[in-house]
Chains A and B, each alone.
Chain A
Amino acid sequence: MRHFLGDTTALLGRSLRHILRSPDTIITTAITPIALLLLFVYVFGGAVDAGAGEYVDYLLPGILIITIASGISYTAYRLFLDLQSGIFERFQSMPIARPSVLWAHVLTSVIANLISVLVVIAVALLIGFRSGAGVTAWLAVGGILALFTLALTWLAVIPGLTAKSVDGASGFAYPLIFLPFISSAFVPTASMPGPVRAFAENQPVTSIVDAIRNLFAGQPVGDGLGTALAWCVGILVVAYLSATLVYRRRIS
């Protein structure tokens, strides 16, 4: 493991060059969430009773989650292409620290998604999003989003390593993008019928969205933050272990 850091840095440089040379991946990641943001603020938002305050303030945390959920599918896509092109095998036959191949892709995803999130926040600011959050609260939001990205990216590594086609590699993200719709991201859960509400209130997106919303609003986060972090760390651990297992089998 002597070379882990150096190898990861070298491979990270490679993946970041890919993003730099095809910035469209950042744009496509941000465009759907931005469209949803505009649609909900200017079309549906008027009919939603999300309590006092601007609807865009209520909506943004959920939109950021959708941004990340769609952005991580590029990791599966890039990993799949590496396997297809044979460059993955080239790396594996070289005297490198083998986990660095995956870590480079994962860290690239964190950086690319962070940029996409910043683009979405910039658009939100343009259409009236305002936050009274201080530096600490913003850092906390960044931390939660980075942890969430890390967790989902490790999840994305699994289809990236196992998919048989490009569609299979990137298609797994659709359920993830859909999950925020059955949560407190767009409307308060109180308006939902019993079983749906029970699901919405106990799935990870709601706790994460609520925690970010409270941080943006300068409200105390209370137990919600703990639940949100527990979900992120839980998904991260399970996804990381599963991905590592799949990787070991794959390179046996």
Chain B
Amino acid sequence: MTLTQRQARILAGMTIEVRGLEKSFKEVRVLRGVDIDVAPGSIFALLGSNGAGKTTLIRILSTLLRPDAGSARVNGFDVVTQAADVRESISLTGQFTAVDQILTGRENLVLAARLRHLRDPGATADDMLGRVSLTEAGGRRAATYSGGMRRRLDIAMSLVGNPPVIFLDEPTTGLDPQGRLEVWQMVRDLAAGGTTVLLTTQYLEEAEQLADRIAILHEGRILVDGTLADLRELLPPAEIEYVEKQPTLEDVFLTLVGGRR
């Protein structure tokens, strides 16, 4: 029996392993023992309302914050004792777009490539501009970009150097529907290319659309963790109701402005 590449990678172990992770800020216990496993090449969505601890978890996994207790391994490296190795393996796209507005789009990407110590930063930047459809805007300052363009540049900066693990903290918050669809497509392409994606979101639809596995983080604990089908089974089977199917406002909006689904 031969294994598919994907199965082989899953057998090789989890890309992200979090065990009993705790973190408090003064009196507030933000994480109260979090366990998650993210399989290689999968998209894992962390769902939760504001203040649930999503960003804190992402910050610990990207070595910006030390946990109080528990352990976390990313790509096989411990986030506390092997932080430098973790940083070689990951890339973080924070909740707010972190691009340099005074630099042009291309200069931002060249900077990211130089900081990842790539051999040809200029070529990497041009290639990346093409991948996120910003080639024409590449020579303009990022300050002149629309929100969606800026987010695409932001994610492109994270993709420079093709790190095997990507953290996306609320990647579509504040984007218009068109921008959101663009980001979704980027995330799907990434996973198709073998990158492991951990994303946080407060939009249920986003998790439904993208994730192989979904965990709900609530008051510092993981309430449930499973595939969409697993989560659906938690509730009684759907009752059949007959309703007239109305187009949603989103359908109308996207049809009128020419967005694709």
Contact = CB atoms under 8 A, between A and B. Distances in A.
B173 to A, nearest CB: 13
Contacts of A22: 102
A87 B102 contact: no
Nearest to B65: A252
B19 to A, nearest CB: 21
B92 A6 contact: no
A3 B117 contact: yes
B91 A94 contact: yes
Given A14-B103, A252-B66, A90 B92 contact: yes
B62 to A, nearest CB: 4
A220 interface: no
Contact of A95 (B64, B98, B102, B116): B116
Which range contains the number of A residues in contact with the other chain? 20 to 34
B146 interface: no
B151 to A, nearest CB: 12
Contacts of B157: 90
A173 B203 CA distance: 45
B72 to A, nearest CB: 14
Interface residues of B, number: 29
Contact of A10 (B64, B87, B88, B111): B111
B115 A96 contact: yes
A95 B117 contact: yes
Given A10-B114, A95-B84, A90 B64 contact: no
B97 A86 contact: yes
A6 B111 CA distance: 11
B92 A10 contact: no
Contact of B94 (A13, A18, A86): A86
Interface string A16-58: 0110011000000000000000000000000000000000000
Interface in B42-85: 62-66, 84
A93 B87 contact: yes
B114 A95 contact: no
B96 interface: yes
B107 interface: yes
Contacts of B91: 93-94
Contacts of A252: 65-66
Interface in A64-104: 85-87, 89-96
B82 to A, nearest CB: 12
A10 B113 CA distance: 10
B102 A89 contact: no
Nearest to B97: A86
Nearest to A7: B115
Contacts of A135: none
Given A22-B102, A93-B62, A252-B66, A10 B94 contact: no
Contact of B88 (A21, A87, A91, A95): A95
A87 B116 contact: no
Given A86-B96, A89-B98, A252-B66, A94 B115 contact: yes
A6 B103 contact: no
A89 B107 contact: no
Contacts of A6: 114, 117
**5 closest pairs, A vs B, by CB?**
A86-B98, A10-B114, A93-B92, A90-B98, A93-B62
Given A7-B114, A10-B111, A93-B64, 20 more contacts: A3-B117, A7-B115, A13-B111, A14-B103, A17-B102, A17-B103, A21-B102, A85-B96, A85-B98, A86-B94, A86-B96, A86-B98, A89-B92, A89-B98, A90-B92, A90-B157, A91-B115, A92-B63, A93-B62, A94-B112
13 contacts: A7-B115, A10-B111, A14-B103, A14-B107, A86-B96, A89-B92, A89-B98, A90-B92, A91-B115, A92-B64, A93-B91, A95-B88, A251-B64
